[in-house]
Structure 1
Amino acid sequence: MTSALHLPPYLLYLHGFRSSPKSMKAQVVQAALEERGLLDRLICPQLPASPKAALALALELAAHHAPDNLAIVGSSLGGFYACALAERLGVRAVLINPSVDPTRNLEHHVGVTTNWHSDEPFEFRAEYIDELKAMRVDTITQPERYFLLAATGDEVLDYRDMVAHYAGARQHVIPGSDHAVSEFPIYVDDVLAFCGFGPAADVVR
């Protein structure tokens, strides 16, 4: 039951490298919130290529909507951003196959590349690696703030790094699967519940 006195949080969804709000997981989250009549609680921006600019945009959106009533879901590079934001803002975060240290992977992507969903070109500059280094969280505080969803079959990132980095947090390790977590619709209700949203059938506005 939702009332004016106890509104569900705003949900900030942060997509991964070369991705967008059109990603499968972002669309699944959108559909699940729409089913609950809570689509207006979703914040799902297109992130700029610059990590510093991406973090600044996320902080601006959080401040504008509800810094004291916010939860974050981040996938891959978006999971890295989500961790940095959760530490800064003290909010809950769900991390889906998150990058723990993206500098190790993204150095190979410096140059011009394209967005997966639009083929629009953008430049990932060498200085962005330093921006990533500046925002890395070496050790999380308050592990109970985090929910890690990691797939052993991730073909891009090593799930063992994720499990170690988020030690003490709630964790669900999926045997097999892939970097995209193709079965994400199975897990979206657990993700939303952790963020503060009840089952679709229980929500009344």
Structure 2
Amino acid sequence: MTAALIYIHGFISSPQSHKAQQLARYVAEHHPEISYFVPSLANTPGEAAQQLDELVQHCLQHHAGSVGLIGSSLGGFLATVLAERYSLPAVLINPAVEPHNFAGHFLGAHHNPYTGVDFSLDQADIDHLRNMVSAPAKGRYWVLVQEGDEVLDYRLAKEFYRGCDISVETGGDHSFQQFERHLPAVVDFYAWGSGL
């Protein structure tokens, strides 16, 4: 059985995200023993969370329990929810923290340019995010943030994940510039050979 690594993209994104594709190429070239998953998530948080929960359960059943998560932005929030639910390690990139506190700005109609799907968010979606918030356990996370993130305040992630491994870089932006520098360390973080 092979290990599994699940990449969770952010809000209004897709498996074609630059970081997801960079990691896919790195894993394919350097770690063919790892099964890499980048699910195309539903645009609403409840549906996306259900998809991911089912995928994690599938991977736990078929990959001898060696499952790791990596999440970007809202995907970082969802990765935390799953990491706490299933005691999994996770790398988080400019993660959203308690997104219900700012998601009110996103109520209404949206268009996902990557998938061409039109959708709407309502108060029930915001409430779902609030109900999913999970306090992070120390020792399970590596959090990567850049101070130049123009979408999310990196200081919120520093506070929320206090006591976890956190790398704070000056400059950068929400996409996390030069993510490729961290690819070897990201994969090594999971210590696949130790059974997690």
Instruction: Quickly say closer, same or farther: Cα 1:194–1:28, change in 2 above 3 A.
Output: same
Q: Is the CA contact 1:151–1:177 (under 8 Å) kept in the aligned structure 2?
A: yes
Which SS does the other structure have where 1:41 is aligned?
strand
Q: Distance in 1 between matches of 2:58 and 2:47?
A: 16
Map of 2:69 onto structure 1: 72
- For residue 4 of structure 2, the aligned residue among 10, 35, 43 is 10
Q: Check if 1:185 corresponds to 2:176.
A: no
Deviation, structure 1 residue 37: 4.8
SS in 1 for 2:16: coil
Percent of pairs with identical residues: 36
- Within the candidate set 154, 157, 161, 1:162 is matched to 157
- 1:40, distance to aligned residue in structure 2 (A): 6.1
Q: Show the counterpart of 2:148.
A: 153
State which drifts further: 103-112 or 68-77: 103-112
Residue 54 of structure 2 aligns to a residue whose secondary structure is: helix
> Displacement of 1:118 after TM fit?
3.8
Return the offset for 1:39: 7.7
TM-score by length of 1: 0.86
Is 1:30–1:39's contact at 8 Å kept on the other side of the alignment?
A: no
SS of 1:66's partner is helix
Q: CA deviation at 1:17?
A: 0.6
One-letter code aligned to 2:188: A
Please give the alpha-carbon distance, in whole angstroms, between the structure 1 residues aligned to 2:184 and 2:31.
14
Return the offset for 1:189. Answer: 1.6
Contact 1:146 1:169 in 2 (8 A): yes
Alignment of 1:184-203 (within 5 A): 184-196=179-191
TM-score, normalization by structure 2: 0.90
Q: Compare 38-47 and 154-163 and name the one that shifted more.
A: 38-47
Q: Which residue of structure 1 aligns with residue 29 of structure 2?
A: 35
Counterpart secondary structure, 2:166: strand
Deviation per residue, 1:37-89 (Å, 9 max, x gap): 52861111111122122111111111112262110000000000000100000
CA offsets 1:151-200 (integer angstroms, 9 cap, x no match):
100001111110111111111111110000121111122111112369xx
Runs of at least 5 residues in structure 1 that lack an aligned partner in the other structure: 199-205
Q: Within the alignment, does 1:96 sit opposite 2:81 as a pair?
A: no
Higher relative contact order (CA 8 A, sep 6+): 1
Does the CA-based 8 Å contact 2:66-2:192 persist in structure 1?
A: no
AA matched with 1:190: A
* Residue 125 (str. 1) matches residue 119 (str. 2): no
Q: Which one is further off, 171-180 or 35-44? A: 35-44
Match of 1:201 in 2: none
RMSD, aligned CA: 1.7
Pick aligned residue for 1:176 from 159, 171, 175:
171
Deviations 1:95-144 (A, max 9, x none): 1000011112221111111214244322222210000001012x322x11
* Distance across 2 between alignment mates of 1:188 and 1:121: 33
